[in-house]
Structure 1
Amino acid sequence: MVDDGDGRSPATAAGAGRPAGPRQAWAGLPWLVRAAVTWSACVLVVVFALWALGRVAVLLAPLAVAVAVTLFLAALLDPVLVRLRRLRVPAALAALLTVLLLLGILVGVGVLVWNLTASQFGELTQQLDQGLQRSREFVTSTLPVTDAQLDKLVKQVRDGVSGSAPDPVGGARTAAEVVGSVLLALVLLFFMLKDGRSMWHWVLGRMTGPNRSTVAEAGRVGWRTLGSYSRGTMIIAAIDALGIGLALVLLGVPLALPLALITFLGGFVPIIGATVAGAVAVLVALAAKGPTTALLVLAAVIAVQQIEGNLLEPLIMKRQVQLHPAVVLVVVTAGTLIAGIAGAFVSVPIAAVAYRIVETVQRHREGGGPA
């Protein structure tokens, strides 16, 4: 090889004059710029994936909600099915009896509550109107807000609600979707109870290699988490309803049973549901008994919720289904935006199960086990 006089070969000298390639240009950038570009690209990919998943979820919302409710109820009723199977009841008959038991409880409780409170719901509306009127008087007397300004604000809110209300055709379509989702969930629940375990074994049978044990454990952990969440949520909601309902009865607040029922239903929507149910109870107490009783009801609601959050929830739910309150708020809000009230109900258990599954897979990988 002939030297050109400066210690470099002609080929090297010729290559030095060419512009640097993409790899050399990328390596020549400061590390902060490279990190910013890389993270920006990752964020864009994640945002686009979430947007695409959101679009699909909106299009398939009735089906997605039906499947989520089916899994929730199947995990809740699984102990009943297991006991029936231990009594050597055939799988199909055991699943049918479990579904009929669920329908019997729902219909029985609905009829009982309706018979006891149907005549009081009109009174509840009047009490809420009186509570709102007293709240209005309190606002105008203590804050620099006039009646005209408050009326204008209320009118704007009503106009916004009226403008966002669905048309009759949209309402009928929504009602049909709800009925269809309920029927689909019941049919899926029967098949899930009857053939759920065999379907899971079929899925595991299709998997080969070291990932099978990881998937099997992740499935078991996810199912246990869903069962613990569903049963724990029902127990906690019942305790909340009993505690707040008892406080309402002792304080002489009318409509204690409907308010306890609202508290029970609100318990299935973490944080937001309990807040709304407590606000309704305080508003009714304010209308019926005045500000002193309303403050006592507020104190009772706060006490019950503190006992629930600091004692009952850790004891009943265990650590395997605990999520940070900020995560719960974000998940409930996202579920509400995607699928309304039904989305708010099912969003937290889905997030809890997903978190436990990811945690299980990560633990397998970090422990050197199958991944």
Structure 2
Amino acid sequence: MSFTEQSELVARDEAPGPMGRDTLEKRVFRATAVVLATVAAAYVLWLLVDLLLLLFACALVSLILLTITDAIRRRTRLPFGVSLGIAVLGLLALIGGSIWFFGATLQGEFAELASRLPSAWASVQQRMAASPVGAAIMERAQGLAPSGQTVVTAATTALAAVGGALSGLAIVLIGGLYLAAQPTLYGVGLLRLIPTAARGPAAETLDAISVSLRNWLKGQALGMLFVGVATGLGLWLAGVPAAWAIGLVAGLAEFVPYLGILVAGIPAIVLGFGQGTDTGLWTIGVLIAVQQIQGNLVMPLLQNRMVDLPPAVTIFGIIAAGILFGVPGVLLATPLTIVVLVLVRRLYLHEDKEEVLESGDEPSPPVPVPAEE
């Protein structure tokens, strides 16, 4: 059920109240109260920004589950609860099966990656030290190297961040499942907080945000799959050790646009040059080719499944989210940018919902809802 339909449901449930006399004193008092409440609310929201980011991540997970559930219902006409259960069990089976099927191979590749990186880096240092330019670069780099205490502190902070990330991931998955299980309950509750006069436009704006995020998630999933497979295959053909492990990291990191190639590029290049100059050059060529094919061929083909985000907007959105919210902001930067763009087009440019969604897929046809649901 879309937010617009939920808004109509709320309007039917609410009876109009008696009209009272509106004096100047009441208007001034009401305006003052609104201003003070807005300032107080903005301050409280800033204090709760981590909680809001966590809630936004839960909403993304629920959108993924609801998208799969709607697809199952359109094809099978099963009840909502059964379709959601199939979607959750299917995802768990897919993840578990992938771990079981590829787990041993990937474990060996990651172990090889960890064992080969130090020796490969030492080989790269020896090659650079053999030339005057490389020796000068290494000398400057050693001067910029952090102290041992700094490394220990950074490692401790990183381990604590990993622990927090794992607990946050568990909360996001469980919270997303709860939101997906009762979308009408939470949607109607949200719309009841909005004044009656603004409820219809607000519902259309929420619908536009929901459809835009669904479109982005569809295209991003295909883009991540392409980057992971293409990077792993290309590095394997180039003779780089642990190629598929690097490809997996590149595919997962591509959830943040342009991050996958950067994250996978550093260990891939080090391992490539550790094997030899030719392998290192081939490694650079593979990474550049994957990035160019994705940017100039794959992503344009997926534009009908994605929100049309200009690259500059995406990059500056990632930077802004990182400055404001840290690492969680970077991970959620692109969907947050989509939300901001939809709000700007709806509230500032006053575009209709159809104009906002014209660059993406049309919303899926509604699934017939039984009377008891």
Q: Normalization by structure 1: what TM-score?
A: 0.71
Count how many residue pairs are aligned between Structure 1 and Structure 2. Answer: 313
Judge conservation of contact 2:128–2:138 (CA < 8 Å) in 1: no
Assess, with a 3 A threshold, how the Cα gap between structure 1 residues 353 and 124 changes in structure 2: closer, same or farther: same
Any idea what the Cα deviations from partners look like across 1:64-118, whole Å, max 9, x if unmatched?
A: 3432222222222323211344434343343333233333323332343331121
Stretches of structure 2 that go unaligned for 5 or more consecutive residues are 1-38, 354-373
What corresponds to 2:93 in structure 1? 104
Any idea what the Cα deviations from partners look like across 1:152-178, whole Å, max 9, x if unmatched?
A: 4365265433234437xx956x56644
What corresponds to 2:81 in structure 1? 92
What corresponds to 1:81 in structure 2? 69
The reply to whether residue 343 of structure 1 matches residue 317 of structure 2 is no
Assess, with a 3 A threshold, how the Cα gap between structure 1 residues 200 and 108 changes in structure 2: closer, same or farther: same
Q: Distance in 2 between matches of 1:124 and 1:237?
A: 21
What corresponds to 2:223 in structure 1? 236
Judge conservation of contact 1:222–1:354 (CA < 8 Å) in 2: no
Q: What amino acid is the match of 1:80?
A: I
Larger deviation: 110-119 or 350-359? 110-119
Counterpart among 262, 270, 274 of residue 275 in structure 1: 262
What corresponds to 2:236 in structure 1? 249
Stretches of structure 1 that go unaligned for 5 or more consecutive residues are 1-47
The reply to whether residue 130 of structure 1 matches residue 119 of structure 2 is yes
Q: Distance in 1 between matches of 2:67 and 2:73?
A: 10
How much does 1:222 deviate? 0.6
Q: Distance in 1 between matches of 2:156 and 2:69?
A: 41
How much does 1:148 deviate? 8.6
The reply to whether residue 301 of structure 1 matches residue 291 of structure 2 is no
The reply to whether residue 353 of structure 1 matches residue 339 of structure 2 is yes
Assess, with a 3 A threshold, how the Cα gap between structure 1 residues 319 and 265 changes in structure 2: closer, same or farther: closer
Q: What amino acid is the match of 2:47?
A: V
Alignment of 1:260-271 (within 5 A): 260-271=247-258
What corresponds to 2:348 in structure 1? 362
Q: Distance in 2 between matches of 1:52 and 1:233?
A: 34
Assess, with a 3 A threshold, how the Cα gap between structure 1 residues 272 and 134 changes in structure 2: closer, same or farther: same
What corresponds to 2:146 in structure 1? 156
Q: Distance in 2 between matches of 1:365 and 1:67?
A: 27
What corresponds to 1:200 in structure 2? 187
3-state DSSP of counterpart to 2:256:
coil
User: Identity over aligned residues, as a percent?
Assistant: 23
How much does 1:331 deviate? 3.1
Larger deviation: 274-283 or 198-207? 198-207
Q: Distance in 1 between matches of 2:138 and 2:217?
A: 48
3-state DSSP of counterpart to 2:182:
helix
Q: Distance in 1 between matches of 2:62 and 2:233?
A: 31
Tell me how large the CA RMSD over aligned residues is.
Answer: 3.5
Judge conservation of contact 1:328–1:348 (CA < 8 Å) in 2: yes
Q: What amino acid is the match of 1:329?
A: I
Q: Distance in 2 between matches of 1:122 and 1:150?
A: 31
Judge conservation of contact 2:227–2:254 (CA < 8 Å) in 1: yes
Q: Normalization by structure 2: what TM-score?
A: 0.71
What corresponds to 1:17 in structure 2? none
How much does 1:309 deviate? 1.3
The reply to whether residue 56 of structure 1 matches residue 47 of structure 2 is yes
What corresponds to 1:40 in structure 2? none
What corresponds to 1:27 in structure 2? none
3-state DSSP of counterpart to 1:356:
helix
Q: Distance in 2 between matches of 1:165 and 1:193?
A: 37
Bigger Cα Rg: 1
Any idea what the Cα deviations from partners look like across 1:218-262, whole Å, max 9, x if unmatched?
A: 111111111111121111111112222221222232212111101
How much does 1:298 deviate? 1.1
Larger deviation: 269-278 or 85-94? 85-94
What corresponds to 1:121 in structure 2? 110
Q: Distance in 2 between matches of 1:112 and 1:336?
A: 36
